[in-house]
Amino acid sequence: MVDDKLERIVAGRMKLKARFEAMMRGDGVSGPSIADGKPQGSGDANRHGMPKLPVGQTLSKKWPVLDLGIRPEVSQQTFKLEVDGAVEHPYQLDFAGLLALPQVQDDSDFHCVTTWSRMDLRWLGVRLCDALALAEPRARATHLMCHGSDGYSTNIALEEACKPDVLLAHTVDGVPLPHEHGGPVRVITPQLYAWKGAKWVCRLEVMVGDRPGFWEQRGYSMTANPWRDDRYG
């Protein structure tokens, strides 16, 4: 059963990679919403060890807490993730199921639209692409809506969601992700502003076409690329 699931992930990942590879490279095929060809938002390998920041950002040693003022009562024991929408195989995952998927460690930076950045966070989790691969997005699918248990939502293009540093993260800097930062599981999007990663994630809705999430409905960018100062629509 485990081997079958792994085979499905690998096969689905390859299909998604084939569909979105050029756009994931940022070669201009899809225009300015796609991250730069040499992204600088994912750890030392891309920043060459220098604390380089996107325009308008300042370095923060602290990790400010920003949310909607609602902190849902969700724990590892009660965590549930729905993957549905424009997919061939919708499914539900609990925390044990998440841990049973291939685990990835990635060092990346965290850029908040409110102008602060925290560098070199060490994350552990599951590639969002692998979670999507299990569901097999349909050929016409183009975008993803990430939903949080607090009622939050945010949209992301599938080519951004399928980048290898986009994670369903459950651990940060060696400890379980704190509740105030979205634990037990949140989405992180290192090449985009951090609001594109839902805290307390509970649903990944694959969509045919795009639609705005919570902040996008209130004037924030649909694409949110920090290296292009892409804050507002």
Instruction: Please give the DSSP secondary-structure letter assigned to residue 92.
Output: E
Q: Flag the least confident range among 3-7, 121-125, 131-135, 190-194.
A: 3-7
| Counts for the chain of helices (H) and strands (E), in that order | 5, 11
- 169/103 Cα distance (integer angstroms): 10
Task: Give me the residues paired with residue 107 across strands.
Answer: 122
Q: 85 falls in which pLDDT band (50, 70, 90)?
A: very high
Sorted by sequence, the CB contacts under 8 Å of residue 93 that are 6+ apart come out as: 80, 81, 83, 131
Per-residue pLDDT of 106-131, as tens digits, reads: 999 999 999 999 988 999 999 999 99
Per residue, what are the HEC states of 148-187?
ECCCCEEEEEHHHHCCCCCEEEEEECCEECCHHHCCCCEE
Structure tokens at 104: 């990835």
According to the model, what pLDDT value does residue 26 have? Answer: 59
- 223/102 Cα distance (integer angstroms): 28
Tell me how far CA of residue 231 lies from CA of 14, 111, 113, 194, 226, in angstroms: 32, 11, 6, 11, 7
According to the model, what pLDDT value does residue 32 have? Answer: 38
pTM of the model: 0.88
Q: Kindly list the structural domains of the chain, giving each domain's residue range(s) and its CATH number in brackets, ordered by start.
A: 2-228 (3.90.420.10)
Q: Which residue has the tokens 């796609």?
A: 34
Strand ranges in 37-96 using DSSP code E only, listed in sequence order: 58-59, 80-85, 91-94
More confident position, 229 or 91: 91
Is the CB of residue 92 less than 8 Å from the CB of residue 122? no
Q: Reply yes or no on whether the pLDDT at 209 is more than 70.
A: yes
According to the model, what pLDDT value does residue 127 have? Answer: 96
Q: 29 falls in which pLDDT band (50, 70, 90)?
A: very low
Is the CB of residue 187 less than 8 Å from the CB of residue 128? yes
Closest by CA position to 26, among listed 229, 208, 227, 170: 227
Q: Which residue has the tokens 């379980």?
A: 176
DSSP SS3 for 134? helix
Q: Reply yes or no on whether the pLDDT at 14 is more than 60.
A: yes
Q: 8 falls in which pLDDT band (50, 70, 90)?
A: confident
DSSP SS3 for 120? strand
Q: Reply yes or no on whether the pLDDT at 35 is more than 50.
A: no
Per-residue pLDDT of 137-179, as tens digits, reads: 999 999 999 999 999 999 999 999 998 899 999 999 999 999 9
